[in-house]
Amino acid sequence: MNAKDFLKKLQPLIALVVMVVALSLLSDKFLTIANQRNILLQISVNLCLSIGMTFVILTGGIDLSVGAILALAGAVAAGLLKNGLTFKMFGVVLQFTPFGAIIAGILVGVSLGCFNGIAVTRFKLPPFVATLGMLSIARGLTMLWTGGFPVTDLGPKFGFLGAGFLLGVPMPIWISIALVAIFYVVSKNTLLGRYIYAVGGSEKATAFSGINVKRVKLWVYALAGALAAVAGLIVTARLDAADPKAGLGYELDSIAAVVIGGTSLSGGRGSIPGTVLGCLIIGVLNNGLFLLDVSPFWQQVIKGFVILAAVAADKLSAKQEP
């Protein structure tokens, strides 16, 4: 790695540091422990989504369905926990335990992710179209499952996932830290990780070297689905309610975090730590704009510009390479 690459990787970090320094000067509330914890808590959901999104984007794809899968997984878990699964034929109800509901939620995420993967690999649909379709399917299924009503009052056991504390730190933060650690190792030290980068770098070359590109992609979409489901479980547990409208537009936040973190939309370049930085930048920005009482309308404008600036910086520095 040469110095320039290194510096480029540092860009998001520098931006983050500058923001943190400036915000701590502008607001006396920013550096408080409570506020820092809030920021981490608030990015934990986006972080879960963005890890999966990073892998998808690294293969040169995109996943627009994560927000919808989030809502469906949360709703399914909440519904199974609250109402169980009724079999009228046998006159029984399968009353799910919190653990069972969590497993079921993740299974929902994995299966919809696999569906995405199959659509992209077997039916050769562009990822944008395949996952756009899934967005609509998953939203519709969520409405069907819930009837449009939020499923509430899920109990403290399940709520622990979102509202519980371990050693004074909220559970969502632990979960996202664990996921970051696991998938950092996956991206660096496993065959799957190397294959993902290879597929994104050049799909043809990877295929020629005997790697099963389709299988790598299937894995990646399934993973994105699973992580979206985890995010859905966190949101549901945090609110003690599965809102069928949950996760609207989250796919865009997640793509923004990945891009701001320096992952190239054309695939092959990027990293998990970069995405973590991207999430942190968005989180700090959101939090800072609130602390400084910026009007909600301006907040959206400013966030848009930050995304544009990040991508522009990426493009500009790519041009300077020989």
Partner 1 sequence: MAITEKNKTDIIRRFIAVAVAAFLCWLFPLFHVVPLKMAVAEKTAGKFDATAFVEKFWIEKLLPAANTAVNAKGLLAAIQASPSNAKTNYSRSVGLSDSYFYFLHGEGKIVAVSDDTVSIVVTGNSTNVEITLQTGLIFGDAIRDGTGLLHASAYPNSQDFNDISAALNHEVETKVLPKLREQAKVGARISFAGCAEVNDESSDLHPLNLIPIETKSE
Partner 2 sequence: MKIKLFNLLRTVAMAMALLMTIAFAHAGEPAAKQKIAIVISTLNNPWFVVLAETAKARATELGYDATIFDSQNDTAKEASHFENLIAGGYKAVIFNPTDADGSVANVLKAKAAGIPVFCIDREINSTNAATCQMLSDSYAGCVKLGQYFVKTVGKEGNYVELLGLVGDNNTWNRSKGFHSVVDRFPGLKMVAQQSADFDRAKGLEVMESMLQAHPDIKAVFCGNDAMAMGAYQALVSAGKDKQVKVFGFDGANDVVKLISEGKIAATGMQFPKVMARTAAEYADEYLKGRRDFPQKIPVKVDLVTPENVSNYGDYGKK
Which parts of this chain interact with partner 2 (CB under 8 A)?
3-4, 7-8, 10-11, 14-15, 18-19, 22-23, 26, 29, 32, 34-35, 38, 41-42, 45, 146-150, 152-153, 163, 235, 238-241, 243-249, 286-298, 302, 305-306, 309, 313, 316-317, 320
CA 311 centroid distance within chain? 19
- Alpha-carbon distance values, 134 to 112, 228, 230 (Å): 8, 13, 18
Contact 244, 148 (CB under 8 A): yes
Minimum separation from the CB atom of position 102 to partner 1 (A): 9
Minimum separation from the CB atom of position 296 to partner 2 (A): 4
Residues that bind partner 1 (CB under 8 A): 80, 83-86, 88, 91-97, 99-100, 103-104
Name the binder of 5 from partner 1, partner 2, none, CB < 5-8 A by kind.
none
Name the binder of 144 from partner 2, partner 1, none, CB < 5-8 A by kind.
none
List Cβ neighbours of 122 (8 Å cut-off, separation of 6 or more).
214
Of the pair 202, 317, the CB lying nearest partner 2 is at 317
Minimum separation from the CB atom of position 149 to partner 1 (A): 12
C-alpha span between 105 and 233 (Å, rounded)? 7
Minimum separation from the CB atom of position 91 to partner 1 (A): 5
Sign of CA dihedral 118, 199, 265, 259: positive
Q: Which two tokens stand for residue 146?
A: 């819930």
Kindly tell me the burial class for residue 148, based on how many C-beta atoms sit within 10 Å of its own C-beta (0-12, 13-18, 19 or more): exposed
Name the binder of 292 from partner 1, partner 2, none, CB < 5-8 A by kind.
partner 2
Q: Which two tokens stand for residue 223?
A: 């993973």
Name the binder of 100 from partner 1, partner 2, none, CB < 5-8 A by kind.
partner 1
